């Protein structure tokens, strides 16, 4: 009965995915916190100064927004192919090629069947670092399994670009275990490390049975895993060769990560994961570390009351670098390194679903020193990427979703200092 009640409340109130009202642009008073709403967890204190409610800090960048594609059904991810074309996934199960001239291809044939219920479907897409040599692309998706169960899976295939695009040599290189009867929290971001191993972020599937496995090392639920591109397990993974532990696990204690990127300065994986009512977290991922869910968390349960024991700190569990309460419902992120917007260099951009904006975080090493909210109220932002041209690319998660590109406004050089 507890599980059923828990599900009913969460399905009704899940800010991480459900369409909710925008939280607004927030404060634009220099030095004052951007967030003006009271936190859901009124008695909690951050572990260190600046861990939440960063002050408003603008880069004074003038930009304009261009629409590159529209009529996309809940697009989830965009990736860049050599030569200027792009891959776009749509959650119902379609992947298309958007050419430089704006032509959207037919759906790419040959993809496995997806379970598109709830938050499931076709999710992230990534291009092999050696694509010019091997032609491989990778995609994550909710895979239907027996007995109404499902789980996150990752496949790869060789992309054939033609009038009828398709993938050959398709191989499912990873399946999250165990499968669950849930339509939520698939995680699913794909990030290549500098050594070309592949990080996969995995949700804990939302239901109580899954949530409690985020701390268990014989389960993939609530984990980040690291595999080789053929699906084999790197021997330098932290738990490789240990008894009763899944060797693919890189880190654990996660809730639902839908934003992930390598820090270009360090090569470390950073992620932003969904909280409940409060507790969206920016985390720097370290090998073998425990990020606490659900033992520690900021925010409160959807139905009110404390999460687990109501604690936010515990020995051996990592603190987030930054958190939001109330949540923005993060999905998609990018560290900006391009030349098109010099003032944005070093900034971390995070998409907001419930927040309906893009959060630009000013960083000083691992500390967040400022926050600015762009395109407030525009749409649910599902993915954020820096393009090869230095523009910022965004996907809006709508029935009539769009691919947007942010470029400097005409007559500006976008050179203001951070």
Tokens describing residue 139: 């995609």
Return the active site residues: 185
Note whether 190 and 261 are within 8 A (CB): no
H-helix segments, 199-253 = 208-211
Angle at 381 between CA 320 and CA 410, to 5 degrees: 110
How many Å apart are CA 384 and CA 257, to the nearest integer? Answer: 14
How many Å apart are CA 55 and CA 395, to the nearest integer? Answer: 27
The DSSP H or E segment spanning 132 is helix 131-134
Of 334, 189, 341, 350, which is closest to residue 263 (Cα–Cα)? 334
What is residue 2's three-state secondary structure? helix
- Hey, CA dihedral for 335, 338, 130, 188, is it positive or negative? positive
Neighbours of 36 (CB within 10 A): 13
Note whether 382 and 396 are within 8 A (CB): yes
Neighbours of 231 (CB within 10 A): 16
What is residue 166's three-state secondary structure? strand
How many Å apart are CA 99 and CA 85, to the nearest integer? Answer: 5
How many Å apart are CA 71 and CA 74, to the nearest integer? Answer: 9
Rounded to a whole number of angstroms, the CA Rg of the chain reads 20
From residue 176, alpha-carbon distances to 17, 196, 229 in Å are 21, 20, 16
Tokens describing residue 103: 């032509």
How many Å apart are CA 95 and CA 123, to the nearest integer? Answer: 10
């Amino acid at each position: 009965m507890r599980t059923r009640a828990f599900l009913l409340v969460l399905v009704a109130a899940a800010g991480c995915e459900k369409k909710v009202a925008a939280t607004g642009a927030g404060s634009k008073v220099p030095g004052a916190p951007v967030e003006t709403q009271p936190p859901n967890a009124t008695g909690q204190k951050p572990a260190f100064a600046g861990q939440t409610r960063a002050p408003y800090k603008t880069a004074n960048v003038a930009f304009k927004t261009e629409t590159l594609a529209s009529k996309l059904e809940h697009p989830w991810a965009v990736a860049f192919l050599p030569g200027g074309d792009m891959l776009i996934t749509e959650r119902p199960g379609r992947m298309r090629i958007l050419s430089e001239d704006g032509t959207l291809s037919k759906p790419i044939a040959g993809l496995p069947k997806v379970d598109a219920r709830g938050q499931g479907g076709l999710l992230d897409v990534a291009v092999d670092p050696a694509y010019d040599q091997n032609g491989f692309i990778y995609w994550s998706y909710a895979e239907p399994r027996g007995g109404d169960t499902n789980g996150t899976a990752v496949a790869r295939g060789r992309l054939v670009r033609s009038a009828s695009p398709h993938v050959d040599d398709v191989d499912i290189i990873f399946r999250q275990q165990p499968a669950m009867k849930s339509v939520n929290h698939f995680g699913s971001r794909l990030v290549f490390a500098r050594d070309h191993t592949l990080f996969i972020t995995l949700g804990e599937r939302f239901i109580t049975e899954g949530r409690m496995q985020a701390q268990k090392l014989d389960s993939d639920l609530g984990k980040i895993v690291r595999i080789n591109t053929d699906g084999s397990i790197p021997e330098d993974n932290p738990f490789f060769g240990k008894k009763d532990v899944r060797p693919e696990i890189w880190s654990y204690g996660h809730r639902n990560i839908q934003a992930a990127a390598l820090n270009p300065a360090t090569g470390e994986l950073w992620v932003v994961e969904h909280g409940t009512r409060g507790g969206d977290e920016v985390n720097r991922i370290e090998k073998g570390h425990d990020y606490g869910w659900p033992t520690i968390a900021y925010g409160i349960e959807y139905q009110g009351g404390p999460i687990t024991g109501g604690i936010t700190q515990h020995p051996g569990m990592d603190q987030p670098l930054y958190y939001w309460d109330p949540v923005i419902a993060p999905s998609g992120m990018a560290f900006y390194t391009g030349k098109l917007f010099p003032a944005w260099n070093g900034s971390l951009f995070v998409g907001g679903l419930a927040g309906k904006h893009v959060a630009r975080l000013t960083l000083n090493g691992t500390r967040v020193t400022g926050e600015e909210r762009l395109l407030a109220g525009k749409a649910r932002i599902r993915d954020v990427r820096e393009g090869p041209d230095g523009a910022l690319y965004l996907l809006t998660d709508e029935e009539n979703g769009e691919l947007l590109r942010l470029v400097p406004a005409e007559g500006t050089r976008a050179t203001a200092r951070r």
